[in-house]
C-alpha cells in the first residue's frame, strides 16, 4: 500500500493553488478531480457569461490572469487552468469523484468509486458548484412551468417572451435580471431587502467582508458567501434592466407556489412561466462526513481565528475555497496557507505518521 504525504481533492482555483505550493515545497501528492476536464466550476458556467461579466479572476500563483474581454468565461478559464496544470506538471488525476474520506489507523483513507488512496494529510478544495441550494417552498412540486437553479441556467434566449421570476438576493440574481429584463417580463423576489453598494468597491471593503466570514468560521458557524456581505452593485451591463424597472419591482418571499404562479401570505398572486432559483450554493463536503469535522453550530471551525485553513477537529485536514477563501483571490491565498499547514503537520508528527 502506497502512502501519500498529501492528497488534494478538487482542481479548481483553490486546488491548483494548493498543488502548486505543495510542489514548491517538494511535498509529493496527488490531485483528484471529478470533472472530465480542467476548469473547476468555470467549465460549467453558462455560455452568455463573458470574461467582461465576471467580477475578476485572480491569477493563479506565478501566472498572468486571462484578459477581461468578450470571450466566454467557460472556455477562457478552463483553457487557462489547462495550460497551468501542464506548465507546472501538476499531478492531476481525473475524472475521479471522491465518495468518502475516513480515518484508517491514523491515516486518511480516500475512497473513490473503484479505487482508494491512503494519505497523511489532505487538502479539500471541492468548492460549492456541485451542491446547489434551493429552499423548500410549499407547493413547488405542483408548478407546471420551468424551475431551474443557477447551475442549469442556459442563458437568456430560452426565456424570450416569457414571464420569469428570479429568486435570490445575490450577484447572480442581479446578473440574470440584467440579461433577462430586456427580452422577458421579469419579477424579482428576495428574502431580505437587497443591500446596494453605491460607493466604490475598495480593498478595505473586501477585507472587512472577508473578516466577517472569518469570524463565522472561527466560531464553527456555516460560512456566509463573501459576496453576500459586500453588497450588490449595478454594472453597465445592467443599466437597461434598471431603466426597465427590473430592480425596483422587487418583492419579499412568497408563501407558496401554485401550478401557474406564486402566492404571497396576503393572498396576492403573480402568474409566472419560469422560476429561476438564484439561491446560491453550499460547500460540497459530504464526502468528509465520516471525519466528523462539523461543529455543533453546523460549520467547520478553522484555525487561526478563521484566517487559517486547518480543520480544528482534525489537523490532518485543510479546507481551501471554503468560507472566507471562497473567491479566486481567497482560494489562491488559502492554497499557500494550506501547503504550509501540511508541511508543518508532516514535520511535527513524523513518528505518529509512520
Q: How far is CA 231 from CA 14, 49, 71, 196, 239, in A?
A: 24, 21, 27, 5, 17
Q: Which of 137, 167, 326, 339 binds ligand FAD (CB under 6 A)?
A: 326
Q: Which of 90, 189, 284, 337 binds ligand FAD (CB under 6 A)?
A: 284
What SS3 state is found at 184?
Answer: coil
Give kind and range of the element (H or E) at residue 110.
Answer: strand 107-112
Radius of gyration of the chain (CA): 21
Taking the least distance from each CB to ligand FAD, the nearer of 241 and 331 is: 331
Q: Which of residues 125-164 bind ligand FAD (CB under 6 A)?
A: 125-127, 129-130
We find the least distance from the C-beta atom of residue 184 to ligand FAD, in angstroms, to be: 19
The whole-angstrom separation of Cα 107 and Cα 285 is 19
Please state the length of the chain.
354
Choices 26-34, 159-167, 228-236, 341-349 (CB under 6 A): range interacting with ligand FAD: 26-34
Residue 327 within binding range of ligand FAD, rule CB under 6 A: yes
Q: Which three cell numbers stand for residue 84?
A: 497551468
Q: Which of 18, 20, 33, 345 binds ligand FAD (CB under 6 A)?
A: 33
CB 261 within 8 A of CB 270: yes
Taking the least distance from each CB to ligand FAD, the nearer of 27 and 123 is: 123
Give kind and range of the element (H or E) at residue 330.
Answer: helix 328-348
We find the least distance from the C-beta atom of residue 320 to ligand FAD, in angstroms, to be: 7
Mark residue 198 as left, alpha or beta (left: phi above 0; alpha: psi -120 to 50; beta: remaining). alpha
Choices 23-31, 90-98, 206-214, 342-350 (CB under 6 A): range interacting with ligand FAD: 90-98
We find the least distance from the C-beta atom of residue 142 to ligand FAD, in angstroms, to be: 29
- Comparing CA positions, the residue from 3, 4, 17 lying closest to residue 340 is 17
Taking the least distance from each CB to ligand FAD, the nearer of 150 and 186 is: 150
Residues 117, 125, 282, 46, CA torsion sign: negative
Taking the least distance from each CB to ligand FAD, the nearer of 85 and 273 is: 85
Residue 339 within binding range of ligand FAD, rule CB under 6 A: no
Angle at which helices 13-24 and 328-348 cross, to 10°: 40
Q: How many residues bind ligand FAD (CB under 6 A)?
A: 35
We find the least distance from the C-beta atom of residue 255 to ligand FAD, in angstroms, to be: 28
Q: Which of 29, 149, 216, 287 binds ligand FAD (CB under 6 A)?
A: 287
Beta strands (DSSP E) in 230-307 are 250-252, 256-258, 261-263, 269-271, 274-277
Choices 93-101, 181-189, 256-264, 338-346 (CB under 6 A): range interacting with ligand FAD: 93-101
CB 34 within 8 A of CB 97: yes
For residue 185, the cross-strand partners are 163
Residue 331 within binding range of ligand FAD, rule CB under 6 A: yes
Beta strands (DSSP E) in 145-238 are 146-149, 163-167, 185-190
We find the least distance from the C-beta atom of residue 97 to ligand FAD, in angstroms, to be: 5
CB 226 within 8 A of CB 210: yes
The whole-angstrom separation of Cα 319 and Cα 287 is 13
Residue 328 within binding range of ligand FAD, rule CB under 6 A: yes
HSE-up (13 A, CA, CB side) for residue 97 = 8
Residue 335 within binding range of ligand FAD, rule CB under 6 A: no
Q: Which of residues 161-180 bind ligand FAD (CB under 6 A)?
A: 172
Q: Which of 68, 97, 102, 109 binds ligand FAD (CB under 6 A)?
A: 97
Taking the least distance from each CB to ligand FAD, the nearer of 45 and 120 is: 45
Taking the least distance from each CB to ligand FAD, the nearer of 189 and 334 is: 334
Q: Which residues bind ligand FAD (CB under 6 A)?
A: 9-15, 32-35, 40-41, 45, 54-57, 96-98, 125-127, 129-130, 172, 284, 287, 321, 326-329, 331
Amino acid at each position: 500500500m502506497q502512502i501519500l504525504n498529501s492528497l488534494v481533492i478538487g482542481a479548481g482555483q483553490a486546488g491548483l493553488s494548493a498543488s502548486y505550493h505543495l510542489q514548491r515545497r517538494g511535498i509529493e501528492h496527488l490531485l483528484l478531480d471529478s470533472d472530465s476536464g480542467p476548469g473547476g466550476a468555470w467549465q460549467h458556467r453558462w455560455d452568455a457569461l463573458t470574461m467582461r461579466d465576471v467580477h475578476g479572476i485572480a491569477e493563479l500563483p506565478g501566472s498572468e490572469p486571462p484578459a477581461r474581454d468578450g470571450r466566454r468565461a467557460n472556455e477562457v478559464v478552463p483553457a487557462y487552468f489547462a495550460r497551468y496544470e501542464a506548465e507546472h506538471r501538476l499531478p492531476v488525476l481525473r475524472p475521479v469523484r471522491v465518495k468518502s474520506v475516513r480515518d484508517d489507523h491514523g491515516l486518511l483513507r480516500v475512497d473513490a468509486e473503484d479505487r482508494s488512496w491512503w494519505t497523511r494529510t489532505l487538502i479539500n478544495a471541492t468548492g460549492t458548484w456541485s451542491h446547489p441550494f434551493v429552499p423548500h417552498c410549499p407547493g413547488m412540486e405542483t408548478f407546471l412551468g420551468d424551475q431551474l437553479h443557477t447551475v442549469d441556467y442556459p442563458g437568456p434566449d430560452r426565456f424570450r417572451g416569457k414571464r420569469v421570476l428570479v429568486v435570490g438576493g445575490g450577484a447572480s440574481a442581479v446578473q440574470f435580471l440584467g440579461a433577462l429584463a430586456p427580452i422577458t417580463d421579469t419579477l424579482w423576489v428576495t428574502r431580505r431587502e437587497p443591500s446596494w453598494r453605491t460607493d466604490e468597491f475598495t480593498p478595505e471593503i473586501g477585507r472587512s467582508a472577508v473578516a466577517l466570514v472569518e469570524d463565522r468560521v472561527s466560531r464553527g458557524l456555516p460560512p456566509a458567501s463573501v459576496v453576500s456581505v459586500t453588497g450588490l452593485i449595478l454594472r453597465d451591463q445592467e443599466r437597461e434592466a434598471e431603466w426597465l424597472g427590473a430592480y425596483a419591482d422587487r418583492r419579499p418571499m412568497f408563501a407558496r407556489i401554485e401550478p401557474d404562479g406564486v402566492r404571497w401570505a396576503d393572498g396576492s398572486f403573480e402568474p409566472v412561466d419560469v422560476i429561476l432559483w438564484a439561491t446560491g450554493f453550499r460547500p460540497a463536503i459530504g464526502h468528509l462526513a465520516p471525519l466528523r469535522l462539523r461543529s455543533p453550530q453546523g460549520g467547520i471551525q478553522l484555525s487561526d481565528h478563521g484566517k487559517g485553513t486547518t480543520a480544528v477537529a482534525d489537523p490532518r485536514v485543510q479546507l481551501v475555497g471554503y468560507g472566507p477563501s471562497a473567491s479566486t483571490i481567497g482560494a489562491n491565498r488559502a492554497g499557500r496557507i494550506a501547503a504550509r499547514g501540511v508541511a508543518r503537520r508532516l514535520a511535527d508528527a513524523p513518528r505518529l505518521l509512520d
